[in-house]
Every structure is written in C-alpha cells, then in structure tokens.
Chains A and B, each alone.
Chain A
Amino acid sequence: MNIKRDIPTATLSGFALSAVLVLTLITILLQYLPLSQQRVGDALLVLNEKEGVANVVTTVVVYFRGFDTLGEIAVLFIASLGVGLMLQPNTECRLKAESNFMLQTASTLLFPLILLFGIYVMVYGHLSPGGGFQGGVIIASGVLLLLISHKNFEVPHTVIVAFETVAGVSYVLIGFMGLLLLDTFLGNFIPHDIANMGMLLSGGVIPLIYIIVGIKVGSEMSGIVQNLMQRSDDV
C-alpha cells in the first residue's frame, strides 16, 4: 500500500507532530514521576475536621476553594446565556415528531424519580459522593427526557430565569454575609459543630451553598438543553 497516496500529507505531519510531542512529554513525565509528596490537600483534610463535613471534596469545592466554584457557576451562567443568545427559540414553527406512547408514559413516570434522585444527590452532597453539580445535571437530564418525549413540553423561560437569578444572587449574598460577619468572603458563618458530622444538618453554610449551586446548575443546564432542543425543532 502506498502510504503517500492513501493518507494526506497533512494527516501524516499532524501524526508526526503529535507523536513527537507526546513522546517527549512521556519521557519527561516518566523521568520525574511525582511519587509521594506532601500536598496542600493533606492539610485541608485536617482542616476539614473543623467544618464538620463528611465529604471532604465538598468542603474543598464549596468552602476552601469556594471562589473557584463561584467562578465555575459564572462560566456556566455565561455559557447558558450565550447558548440562549445564539439559539433564540423560534416559537412560531415547532415541528417536533410525536414520540411514541411508550416513551411518553415511561418518561412521565421516570421524571419524578429522576428529579427526586437529583435532589437527593444535591442535598446529600456534603455526606456522600455527589452534590450540587451532579444533582443539578441529573435534574437537567430529567428535563431533557421530558423535552425529547413530549411534544409540547417546555419549562417556562421565566421559571428557569427565576431559579438561576435567585440562586446566583443568593450565592454571592452568602459570600457577602461571610465577609460581613467573619471578615472573609464566603466565610462559614452558620454554627457548625463537628459533633454533627455525618448528619444532614451539619457543616453550617456548606450544604446550603451546595444546594444553591445545584439549583443554579440545574436551571442553567435545563436552559442550555432546552435551547438546544428548541433550535433543533425548526430544522
């Protein structure tokens, strides 16, 4: 087989470039494998004890590195805004194929379960794996299911906006409360006792923020999904 004829030069050169780069990277990485290292994370694990949250990742995400999460919410918010701006719903012509009865019934039955599961993941984010992001996205996928199966289903735009606005504003306001009461932005100003660790009402402000994050993510994601779906209607 003639390689030159079958594969374009651009592909070959791209292959060569990426191969050389990755081989070099591998050499360096394997030469100095980071084996055991004292890391910040270990200190945070210890610090976590004070906050009384079972899931340390949650503490880190929501509290220790709370500003990252705020930024991440902002990214999601902007992205959802952008998608909405780009794919403005065209309400006049809606030609969605009617899905079959089975799917409709199943999704109607399934949706409350998905919603419940999402809320569970959200609320128990500080105790078990999961949390606001995952819960929010799960809820959004429930919405997606309904969007796919039901012809006329639509989450009212105002509802989405209301959720995301309230969640976003209250997140920043909680941050300001911390600034006001404890002199650090996003400070944990609600009493949190270590003794309560593992209980639903523990960790002070942390579960509250994670739920807010969940609502925010859920509404943003639903918005994105809905916009993408609706745009696809007028194909």
Chain B
Amino acid sequence: MFEFLNQPEVIKTIVTLGAMSLFFVGLFGLLTRKHIVKVFISIAIMESAIFLLFIGLSFNREKVAPIIDATQTQVATMNDPIPQAMILTAIVIGMAVLALGVSFAIEYYKLTGKTEIDTMNEMRF
C-alpha cells in the first residue's frame, strides 16, 4: 500500500526531510541547551543527521551492498562504497572527539563545579 514510497525520488525526499529534521533537532539543542552533556548530545545528533543524509542520498534501492559474494558478483549492481567508507571514518572520529570532550568536562567539573557552558567564564577578560 505504500509502494509509491519506494520511488527513488520519494525516498530521497524522505531522507532529506528526515535527516534535516534531525539536524534541526540537534541545532536547536546546540543553540539553546546549556548543560555540557546536552551540548555533546546535540552535536552527536547533528553528526548522525549528516551521516544519514549522506548514506541515504547516495544509495540506490535497486542495488545491493558493496560486498562480493557467491550470489553477488556484478559490481554494476552495487552501491557506492565511498560514502560508507567516509562515514565509517567520520563516526570513529566523532566518537573520539566526544570522549575527549567528556574527559575535559569531567576534569573541569572537578576543579570548578560548573557544568553549564554559559557559566564557564573563569577568564577575567
């Protein structure tokens, strides 16, 4: 009953709208939330929105995953592997930055007791 949703254009529209809505949520969080964990969460959401957008817009429903096995040997019917490789890299990098940020935040909290980014003003400027 939802066959019309399977047309490539429609899927791409869905992906665009969905990923951008996710991006909106993340951006909204980034611009308004103050707690440092919330900020990191927002950043993670924004990142995953970009990942979804990329993979979603570059894949083709007719084609298969880019893995050659006994049943799939035709490279012409495979999806583009580059976005996948890129996103693989980007996910790991994002996680690394996140872990580092959390460790900064923990140490900072230990020293000053602050968790809200708008109150982080130790500098006397």
Residues of A within 8 A of B (CB): 10-11, 13-15, 17-19, 21-22, 25-26, 29-30, 33-36, 39-42, 44-46, 48-49, 54-57, 59-61, 64-65, 68-69, 72, 75-76, 78-80, 82-83, 86-87, 128-129, 133, 197-198, 217, 224, 227-228, 231
Contacts and interface: CB of A to CB of B under 8 A. Distances in A.
B43 interface: no
B82 A60 contact: yes
B99 A83 contact: yes
Given A33-B9, A86-B104, A133-B88, A41 B75 contact: no
Contacts of B16: 26, 29-30, 33
The B interface is mostly helix, strand or loop, or mixed, namely helix
Given A61-B89, A75-B92, A76-B96, A56 B104 contact: no
Interface in B20-48: 20-21, 23-24, 27-28, 31-32
B85 interface: yes
A89 B88 CA distance: 30
A233 to B, nearest CB: 13
Contact of A87 (B67, B89, B107): B107
With most chain A CB atoms within 10 A of its CB, the pick from B57, B70, B93, B103 is B103
A227 B104 CA distance: 13
A44 B82 contact: yes
Contacts of A78: 96
Contacts, number: 148
Contacts of B81: 41, 44-45, 56-57, 59-60
Contact of A41 (B57, B68, B82, B107): B82
Nearest to A62: B85
Given A17-B31, A56-B68, A61-B85, A87 B106 contact: yes
A36 B13 CA distance: 14
A22 B20 contact: yes
A59 to B, nearest CB: 8
Given A18-B27, A75-B92, A54 B69 contact: yes
Given A29-B20, A34-B57, A86-B100, 17 more contacts: A18-B24, A19-B24, A22-B20, A29-B16, A35-B8, A35-B12, A45-B66, A49-B75, A54-B69, A59-B81, A60-B85, A61-B85, A79-B96, A86-B104, A86-B106, A129-B67, A228-B103
B117 interface: no
Contacts of A45: 66, 75-76, 78, 80-81
Interface string B40-73: 0000000000000000011010000111111000
Q: Which 7 A-B pairs have the closest CB atoms?
A: A41-B80, A14-B31, A79-B96, A14-B32, A56-B66, A18-B27, A22-B24
